[in-house]
Amino acid sequence: MAAGPTVKELLQAYPDQIRLVIKNYPYKYRDFSKIAAEASLAARDQGKYWEMHDILITRSPKLDRASLIAYAGELGLDVKKFTEALDSGRHAKAIEDDLQLAEAMDLYNTPTFYINGRQVIGERPYAYFKRIIDEELQKAGR
Amino acid sequence: MRYPPFLTIMMKQVLICLFALLLSGLAQAEPPRVDVPIGDSPSLGPANAPVTIIEFIDFQ
């Protein structure tokens, strides 16, 4: 799971004050978690990470290989290159590294957030994030 | 007004204890923070932004 709309709203409300970083924690018992994460990085190769990120969240759980390739086409990516990246497992190691980090941190849920290092587990309402961000901005003197 | 020396020392100790208590109280009010390495992960927004949100996601 990912908190697409809430995070997007925060980024719009605090322009230039938030940096968002995505780590993948594909749950091992779900069929398409890993391939979807790899697809997001394959789209990144072609400069369309966030477009793919958004479409994956909207269309989830329809994330089988054929659907991912179709989304790449919708986004105007070079489908041949995208498919090669997917099939060769070009980004498998990057995803595996994220996964190991998440496991080392003992995470058990997605989404899990770290806001300047402060952990927030699961989807929360906008106001919950806003309170933490405002506190952090105040601390930073902004 | 002058206090006998032993009383002055005691008052100093009491003050030091109070100060230490105050400091530990402040430390507890600060939420625990985790240092997550960012590495080469996809990111959006300025690198020097005052707030960094790291989101662990699963698209499915």
- What is the residue extent of each domain of chain A? 1-25+107-142, 28-99
Residues of A in contact with B40 (CB under 8 A): 94
ipTM more than 0.90?
A: yes
A26:B36 CB<8 A = no
> For residue B30, what pLDDT is reported?
77
A19:B51 CB<8 A = yes
Q: Which two tokens stand for residue A87?
A: 């099939």
Asked if residue B60 belongs to a domain, the reply is no
Asked if residue B14 belongs to a domain, the reply is yes
pTM of the predicted structure, to 2 decimals: 0.84
Vertex A119: Cα angle to B60 and A41 (nearest 5): 40
Contact with chain B for residue A69, Cβ under 8 A: no
Query: In which domain, by residue range, is B12 found?
Result: 1-34
Residues in Cβ contact with A30 at an 8 Å cutoff, skipping those fewer than 6 apart = A61, B58, B60
d(CA A129, CA A61): 26
d(CA A116, CA A114): 6
Asked if residue B58 belongs to a domain, the reply is no
Domains contained in chain B, number: 1
- The mean pLDDT values, 10 residues at a time, for chain A of 142 residues are 83 96 92 97 98 96 98 98 98 97 95 97 96 96 84
Choose, out of A114, A118, A119, A134, the residue to mutate when testing the contact with B (most B CBs < 10 Å): A114
Asked if residue B27 belongs to a domain, the reply is yes
